[in-house]
Amino acid sequence: MIKISDVGVATSGDYRNYFEKDGVRYSHTIDPRTGAPIQHNLASVTVIHPSCMMADAFATAMDVLGADRGMKMAEQQNLTVFMIIKTKEGFIEKMTPTFKEFIVQ
């Protein structure tokens, strides 16, 4: 659980909006560089930002980029980010140090 006040929060991911055909998973998120659905292991990315509009834009951009490039962008832009990443063993969580400040124990 996170505790926020006077900031925007946005989450993007393909964990709910996708379909499968012939064993292939198709995300609802389209990579504008290719015009095709994204195909990587980032299930969800949440961004906390003073502007909800910017939180949504960054979350969507990082969702398109994937976990590694998205986290690199978060670090370069000093963003507050939480990611859920699919692995063969299950899901792992990654976050920026600033996101930890919003977690309620």
DSSP summary character for residue 34: T
The token duo for 20 is 């499968």
pTM of the model: 0.90
pLDDT digits (tens, 9 = 90+) for 29-58: 888 899 888 888 899 999 999 999 999 999
**Which pLDDT does position 32 carry in this prediction?**
86
**How far, in Å, CA of 83 to CA of 41, rounded?**
11
Q: Which residues of the chain have pLDDT under 50?
A: none
The token duo for 32 is 């504008």
In sequence order, which residues have a C-beta less than 8 Å from that of residue 21 and are 6 or more positions away? none
38, amino acid identity: I
**Which pLDDT does position 17 carry in this prediction?**
75
**Which pLDDT does position 6 carry in this prediction?**
95
Phi, psi of 94 (to 5 degrees): -135, 145
